[in-house]
Structure 1
Amino acid sequence: MMRGDDVSELQLRLGALGFDAGRVDGIFGSLTQQAIADFQRNAGLVSDKVCGPETVDSLVRLEGRGGTATVTGVRERDRLRRRLLNLTDLRVALGSLGQIHPVLSGFAAGLQGSGMSTLLLDDEDWSVQAEAVNSFSADLFLGFDISDRAQAEASYFSVPGYESDAGRRFAELIIKELPAAPGWGVGTVQGMRFQILRETRPPAVLLRLGPATVLESSQALVIASLHRAIEAWATDPC
């Protein structure tokens, strides 16, 4: 399967013109192929799902006629605003590589106590976790990673020209709510194209905290801050 920045650029161009190529993830999948076919029919070209020279020329010629928002971005915001009417409707997936960290298991228990559906994942392959998240039809994914260095970093999916508004919102809320534990320094929020962020369909955040000694002493505070962040996100996801 084709992947890369050229595919991301293609998805952006199609989405800005109103053709749904799926998330701007750089993966040339079935949605992108169908969007090409739809565009080709609309432009009077042979609808073969192949982005050849004529298709590229037509896309370049029409550049600027579309908006700045992609179809996928608009749909994500609309779906969340219609879907998250009640906190108990939320389906939340949580994952860490290799084993479930106590922070995640404690967070999951609190979410379940609030009536939310949760999925805990510990596969050592982020792609496998992404498939499980998508099959679960999650509304939100939080990945957790322990850093060896002093760090409080929340990453959401972003590529040039597109970012997950709902993912960025959740990342910002997490950093805002995290306790000011000694050794963490100032928390940061950044847009990234990590595999787990790219391949999950729902808004996703990868949270990196460290060092482990600081996290261990602040575990209860971290769980409480994550719960406040998700409650705030559910009422205003983007």
Structure 2
Amino acid sequence: MTTPIRVLLVDDQELIRLGFRLVLEAEPDVAVVGEAADGDEAVRAAAAHAPDIVLMDIRMPRTDGIAATRSIVAAHPQTRVLALTTFDLDEYALGALDAGASGFLLKDAQRSELTAAIRAVHRGDAVLAPSVTRRLIDRLHAAPRAAAPHASSADDPTTELTEREKDVFIAIAQGMNNAEIARHLFLSESTVKTHVGRVLAKIRARDRVHAVILAHRHRLVDASAPLPSAGDESPTP
């Protein structure tokens, strides 16, 4: 039997947590392992329950979801955070992605959207609204360069990549899924999957979302490059 996806629910409103729990507990491949009402509780619960996915509310009292996301991602690299926001233009969503969230979801999402998003993030795929992601990329390009002109090679995320892996990295940053990369580089999808896994490991990226952010932060692709669509259908890596 397949091990269920372990989910931690974080929201300061008990009724919202209850609603998510009722939806998720009806799914055979999902298990709710804990709840938290604010960021401080979320950090402690993540350490105690080792969830695969954290459904993280962004606006909460005391420690907010952005700070909690940053702490959880740093302490538990295998745990992925799916941020929850009320509006798709919420500036807090940008902060959550920059803090390490693997995507975000609107709180009024349909049941099928919620469960699909959890499975997609668990696979490592992107769950993003183009409007918010575009503004994140614009902000990264407007900021000072991540590395100074004479920075050491350690600051360059592509230093350890082979030429083919660099091609794959740029393709990921341009929003291509595995099938599109295979066609673009004249490779089989199985070969692309292997390359993607190696690329993410070498650049120390949690997932494709993090890889896209790294590529744009280091100006490796143009700011107008296409972004990953929500729920890339290709298996991850």
TM-score, structure 2 length as denominator?
0.34
Q: Hey, which of these two has a bigger chunk of strand by percent?
A: 1
By relative contact order (CA 8 Å, sep 6+), the higher-ranking structure is 1
Look at both structures and tell me which one has the larger radius of gyration over its CA atoms.
1
TM-score, structure 1 length as denominator?
0.34
